[in-house]
Amino acid sequence: MLVNLTDMFSQHGNYAIAAFNVFGYEDAVSVIRAAEEVNEPVILMVNRDAARHMPLDILGPILTTLAKQAKVPVDVHLDHSVDLESIAKAVDAGFTSVMFDGSQLSFEENVDKTLKTIALARPKNISVEAEIGSVAYSDPSIQAKMIYTEPEEALRFYQATQVDCLAVSVGTVHRMVVQEAKLQFDRLEKLKNTVEVPLVIHGSTGVPDADLTKLSRYGARKINIGTCLRMAFGRTLRKCMEENPEEFDRIKLFQEPMKAVQQAAKQKIQLLKY
C-alpha cells in the first residue's frame, strides 16, 4: 500500500525503516519483494540521476503503482532535491514524500526553501524531509562539505520549520564502499533527545553491518542506502553477461541482477531491526 512518511513512522516500531535509491522498474520491484519477504515497510527513493534518466512524471506513476499493489507499506520519495521546481514536479507525479536538501545553503536560506517545500507538499498530504549539517560525498565531482550536525542548530531548524523528518550528519559519507569516518553515535543520541522529529541517516552503503544496526538503535528512523544496490545489480549483470556471451535478451539478463538486489535489500532491512 502507498503511504506517506509521516504515517509510516507513526505505524512503525522504533527501529529504522530502510530507504533505497531506485532507478526504474527492475530495482523498485526487487526492493518491494524484499520488503514483502520480511513483512517490513520500505521507502523507494528517486535521486537526481534517476530523474535525469527517467523524468519524474513517468517514474512517479510506475513507483506509486508498484507501491499500491505491495503487501507492505511503501513510501515513494524524492531524494536530495535542491530546487523547488523538481519538488513541484514530484508533488504532481504522486510522490508521497520529498526531501529539500538545503545542506549547502545558509541556515536562513535552508529554512526559507524548506518552508516553501512544505507549502507545496503538505496540502497534498506529502511528507517533507530536510537536512541540517551536511553529509559529504566520496565522489569528488559532487561538492558537499562534511559538517557534523549540532543538536542546538537542529532544534532551531526544527522549531522554524516543523519539518516531518530531518537528515543529520554524524560521520557517514555518501557512496563509500567502506566507511572511513568514525560514526558519532553519541551525537546521534543527543540529537534524538534534543529534537522530537524522526532522524534520517544518509550515505549508509559503507556503514558496516553492526554499525547499521547501532544507528537504528541510537535513534535513526530512516536509513538511506543507494550505492549498495547499484553494485548488486551492476556486478551481477556483468557476471551474467560474461557467463552468457551470446545472450542478448534483457529480460533474461536482468533475472539474476534483480534477485541480487532483492537479496541485498532484504539483508539491509533485517539489519535495522534490533
CA-CA distance, 225 to 104, in Å (whole number)?
Answer: 21
CB of 131 to Zn ion, least distance (A): 8
CB closer to ligand G3H out of 6 and 205 = 205
Reported in sequence order, the residue ranges of the chain that DSSP labels E, i.e. its strands, are: 17-21, 42-46, 74-81, 97-100, 127-132, 165-168, 199-201, 220-225
Would you list the DSSP string of 42-102? EEEEE-HHHHHHS-HHHHHHHHHHHHHH-SS-EEEEEEEE-SHHHHHHHHHTT-SEEEE--
Q: Does 192 contact ligand G3H by CB under 6 A?
A: no
CB of 226 to Zn ion, least distance (A): 7
Stretch that binds ligand G3H, among 26-34, 220-228, 235-243, 265-273 (CB under 6 A): 220-228
Stretch 11-30 residues interacting with ligand G3H (CB under 6 A)? 21
With CB under 6 A as the contact rule, the residue among 12, 48, 156, 175 that binds ligand G3H is 175
> Which of 72, 77, 81, 63 minimizes the C-alpha distance to 27?
63
Cell numbers representing residue 104 in the block: 549547502
- 3-state DSSP call for residue 213? helix
Stretch 35-74 residues interacting with ligand G3H (CB under 6 A)? none
Query: Is 53 known as a binding-site position?
Result: no
The secondary element (H helix, E strand) that includes residue 117 is helix 107-121
Residue 106's Cβ-side half-sphere holds a number of Cα atoms within 13 Å equal to 3
Q: Does 205 contact ligand G3H by CB under 6 A?
A: yes
Which does residue 73 touch among Zn ion, ligand G3H, none (CB within 5 to 8 A, set by kind)?
A: none
Stretch that binds ligand G3H, among 33-41, 189-197, 219-227, 256-264 (CB under 6 A): 219-227
CB distance 34 to 258 below 8 Å: no
Identify whether 75 is a catalytic site residue: no
Q: Does 225 contact ligand G3H by CB under 6 A?
A: yes
CB of 16 to ligand G3H, least distance (A): 13
Stretch that binds ligand G3H, among 32-40, 125-133, 189-197, 199-207 (CB under 6 A): 199-207
Angle between helices 84-92 and 107-121 (to 10 degrees): 20
Q: Does 80 contact ligand G3H by CB under 6 A?
A: yes
Detail the residues annotated as belonging to a binding site: 80, 101, 131, 174, 202
Q: Which residues are catalytic?
A: 79
